[in-house]
Structure 1
Amino acid sequence: MSVSRSYPPVPLLAVSVLVTTGTKALLIQRSKPPYQGAWSLPGGLVDVGEPLKHAAERELQEETSLALTMPDQPVEVFDSIQHDDEGKVLTHYVLCVFRASSSERKVCAADDAKDAKWMSADELDALYCTPGTPERIRRFL
């Protein structure tokens, strides 16, 4: 059974991965709603029966070609809620953020990522990012 991402009856569980190398973080540009065109951490929905850490590893590889092992637990859990013009809940995600580091500099955007790049915290100010992404990156870099 598939749950609608727009006006969902329950919050949707998702993962994000903050991958760093030196003073740069890996971001992807979203090619689909929500936040189409925005820069974000790689991630996506958790499949039924899939452990969080495996979902984070899968989404990272699908969107950037990086194959990394995640820690057992996320470093942060937060809500991402969007309301429509009438105040109804349009989207509601519960996001579990995992952190990893990589020495691999080559990334390749794939799946629902339009682009993937390593960026410094200073570069984030000029970008359209998903809510909270620049602050999250600065906090962990």
Structure 2
Amino acid sequence: MQSIPNAVSVAIFSGPEALLIQRARAPYQGYWTLPGGRMERAEVPEDTARREIREELGLDLGALLPVTISSGGGGFVLAVFAARLKAGRPKPSDEIADWQWTHPDSLVVAPVTPGLARILLQAADVLNGG
């Protein structure tokens, strides 16, 4: 398996809750997941994360903390980050069907992308210094 990321996702936290989006397009259309997207040529994962979050949600983030590298399916290798929301309210692009804040240990939406619950808990742990 490729271990060099070609996409990113970000667990954005406001207080104890994380932002989940419902994908409006393939892959995983209709699934709940973390926001993010594909890396562009010569882009580093952190730049991709900030760009994608601005484009898809109109949000600015605090410090990006690495969480894990994960297989996203479909040939994607995701660099997953955790970050705190600086300010604002999500303004979703047409790539997002819906969004909601949720507590990492009480995931109530379905369907979700593979490993989402585990990744949310890891991201919360990273943000809390664990």
The TM-score range, normalised by the shorter chain, is 0.7 to 0.9
Q: Partners of 1:55 and 1:28 in 2: how far apart?
A: 17
Aligned equivalent of 2:59, options 62, 66, 71: 66
Q: Deviations over 1:10-29 (max 9, x none)?
A: x9710001111111001111
CA RMSD of aligned residues (A): 2.1
- Relative to the length of structure 2, the TM-score reads 0.81
Aligned equivalent of 2:67, options 59, 62, 75: 75
Structure number with larger C-alpha Rg: 1
Q: How many pairs align?
A: 121
The alpha carbon displacement at 1:105 in A equals: 5.4
| Partner residue, 2:93 | 110
Aligned equivalent of 2:16, options 23, 27, 33: 23
Q: Structure 1 regions of 5+ residues with no counterpart?
A: 1-10, 82-90
Q: Structure 2 regions of 5+ residues with no counterpart?
A: 125-130
Secondary structure in 1 matching 2:69: strand
**Percentage of identical aligned residues:** 36
The alpha carbon displacement at 1:101 in A equals: 0.5
Aligned equivalent of 2:35, options 16, 23, 42: 42
